[in-house]
Amino acid sequence: MTEDARPSAKDEGSTVRLVIGAALIVAALAAILIGFVRLIRLLEAGGYGTPAMRGALVILGVAGALFSTGIATVIWDIAKRYEHR
């Protein structure tokens, strides 16, 4: 194998990237739980269309963004780890 064909250190996976992805996923799961609990309590109390309901939906939207970013980061790291093997 020549020197040019070897993967450089910057092309390999990163433990920091993997930990950040995992932390984003854990934060998203916590936000999903909080958002759904708030939404269920509001709907049981008849709070349709209230600012509190919009707040619960915003929490769920943020949770979705965190989850998708975390999954993308983990996939990116795993792809970098195994693309040269």
pLDDT in tens, 11-70: 677 889 999 999 999 999 999 999 999 999 998 888 787 888 899 999 999 999 999 999
pLDDT higher than 80, residue 72: yes
Residue at 26 is within a domain? yes
State residue 85's pLDDT score: 58
**Is the model more confident about 4 or about 61?**
61
What's the domain range around 52?
Answer: 20-82
Query: Which position has the higher pLDDT, 19 or 83?
Result: 19
Is 2 contained in some domain? no
**Single-letter amino acid code for the residue at 69:** T
Report if residue 36 sits inside a domain.
yes
- 48 found inside a domain: yes
- In this predicted structure, the answer to whether residue 9 has a pLDDT above a threshold of 80 is no
Task: Identify whether 58 is part of a domain.
Answer: yes
Q: Distance (Å, rounded) from C-alpha 34 to C-alpha 60?
A: 8
Domain count, the chain: 1
13 to 3, 42, 75, 78: CA distances (angstroms): 19, 43, 10, 7
In a domain, 9, yes or no: no
Cα(24)–Cα(22) distance, rounded to whole angstroms?
5
What are 44's two structure tokens?
A: 């049981």
Domain for residue 10, yes or no? no
Q: Is residue 1 part of a domain?
A: no
